[in-house]
């Protein structure tokens, strides 16, 4: 754990409004370590140690964020509606400490909240507005100039190849227990490459995608719950609009907890789906007809991808996803399978919601 004096030394390598006088742990996020930094003038910043264990090319990742946030800031002048980087006096977007760890500093967005699940339909609508606006403002950004901060992050066919590999090895001896779940997910493999094939064929445009676009990565105004900005930009890289729409629906339109054990509580809330779709398409700007048509497919493939990743990790012995009690990852995987079955039951209604 980094001591307070060292944190202050790191924080004061960035150009801030006055010297940083305090750094206290800040909750939120599962990968990077965050601290609320406050200067002698009362200005607040978020100091973060970026995980080099998860992100193998932090300089490239920070270059992505610097480019994208600069582009957003040129178009959106309200500082609360764009995540902003605090650079060093030399103009760098990060620093390294004596141990070689990477640190960055972001301007703290005052009077904001971050919800993990929508409390009301309006919350989900506002999240949709923020994610759609993010896509719209970056629609003219050359996505191909960004690196892949996590290579093949949403390359679902490659994710299936990894799933097959862990099934074959069965390293923790758990395969027999989950044979039914495995067989169901393998029966869906025929859909795994649909979006990737359209991208490879040039039928879907390459966009700047957030790639983890969920309500938990959107800041809302604490008082009005109005959409502010999209945060956690570590996975911003080239991608598809359908990936962002799909991840938002997967994570926000389910009625159950992510590890719900009573699967009767896990349903697709079509009202929430329609609300998000309305806000997203109203703020997303000009999408191609094919992009709009494939939005429901994005929800299916993002849920399928999460299912095989989580179940694969359970079979491997819970080596990637942190679990707080036995079989939590199995319960997480089962909720994704239940959602896939919900999509099957509501598929025509999902497609009609997008067409409207």
At residue 8, the pLDDT reads: 96
101-135 burial: b if 16+ Cβ within 10 Å, else e? bbbbbbbbbeebebbebbeeeebbbbbbbbbbbbb
Give 140-168 pLDDT, tens digit per residue. 999 999 999 999 999 999 999 999 999 99
Q: What is the DSSP letter of 85?
A: B
Is the predicted pLDDT of residue 43 greater than 70, yes or no? Answer: yes
Q: Six-digit token pair at 334?
A: 């089962």
What pTM was computed for the model? Answer: 0.94
Percent of the chain with pLDDT over 90: 93
The Cα 287–Cα 177 span in angstroms is: 44
Instruction: Output the six-digit token pair for 224.
Output: 């009005």
d(Cα 243, Cα 237) in Å, to the nearest integer? 12
Element (H, E) at 220: strand 218-221
What is the band of 127 on the pLDDT scale with cuts at 50, 70, 90? very high
CA torsion, points 307, 309, 313, 315, in degrees to nearest 10?
60
Sheet containing 44-50: give its strands across.
Answer: 20-25, 33-39, 44-50, 102-107, 95-96
Please identify which residue in the block is written with the tokens 């971050």: 114
- Ordered by where they begin, the domains of the chain are 4-110 (3.30.200.20), 121-355 (3.90.1200.10)
Core vs surface per residue 13-44: b (16+ CB within 10 A) or e: bbebeeebeebeeeeebeebbbbebbbeeeee
Q: What is the mean pLDDT of the chain?
A: 95
How far is 334 from 32, CA to CA, in rounded Å? 27
Q: Which uninterrupted H or E stretch holds 87?
A: none
Report pLDDT digits (tens) over 297-334.
999 999 999 999 999 999 999 998 888 999 999 999 99
CA pair distance 134, 272, nearest whole angstrom: 20
């Amino acid at each position: 754990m980094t001591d307070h004096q060292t944190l202050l030394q790191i924080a004061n390598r960035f150009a801030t409004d006055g010297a940083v006088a305090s750094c206290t742990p800040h909750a939120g996020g599962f990968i990077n370590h965050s601290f609320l930094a406050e200067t002698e003038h009362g200005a607040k910043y978020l100091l973060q140690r970026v995980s080099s264990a998860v992100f193998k090319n932090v300089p490239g990742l920070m270059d992505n964020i610097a480019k994208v946030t600069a582009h957003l800031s040129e178009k959106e002048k309200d500082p609360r509606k764009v995540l902003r980087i605090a650079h060093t006096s030399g103009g760098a977007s990060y620093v390294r400490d004596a141990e070689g760890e990477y640190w960055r500093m972001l301007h703290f967005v005052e009077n904001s909240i971050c919800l993990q699940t929508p409390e009301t339909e309006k919350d989900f609508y506002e999240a949709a507005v923020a994610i759609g606006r993010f896509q719209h403002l970056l629609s003219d950004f050359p996505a191909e100039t960004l690196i892949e901060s996590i290579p093949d992050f949403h390359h679902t066919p490659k994710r299936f190849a990894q799933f097959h590999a862990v099934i074959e090895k069965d390293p923790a001896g758990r395969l027999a227990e989950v044979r039914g779940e495995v067989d169901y997910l393998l029966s869906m493999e025929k859909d795994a490459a649909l979006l990737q094939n359209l991208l490879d064929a040039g039928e879907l445009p390459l966009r700047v995608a957030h790639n983890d676009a969920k309500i938990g990565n959107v800041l809302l105004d604490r008082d009005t719950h109005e959409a502010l900005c999209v945060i956690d930009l570590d996975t911003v890289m080239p991608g598809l609009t359908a990936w962002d729409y799909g991840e938002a629906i997967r994570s926000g339109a389910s009625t159950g907890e992510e590890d719900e054990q009573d699967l009767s509580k896990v349903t697709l809330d079509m009202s929430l789906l329609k609300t998000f779709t309305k806000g997203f398409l109203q703020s997303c700007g000009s999408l191609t007809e094919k992009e709009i048509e494939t939005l429901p497919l994005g929800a299916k493939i993002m849920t399928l991808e999460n299912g095989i990743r989580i179940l694969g990790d359970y079979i491997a012995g819970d080596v990637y996803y942190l679990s707080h009690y036995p079989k939590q990852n199995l319960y997480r995987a089962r909720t994704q399978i239940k959602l896939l079955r919900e999509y099957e039951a509501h598929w025509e209604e999902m497609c009609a919601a997008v067409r409207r």
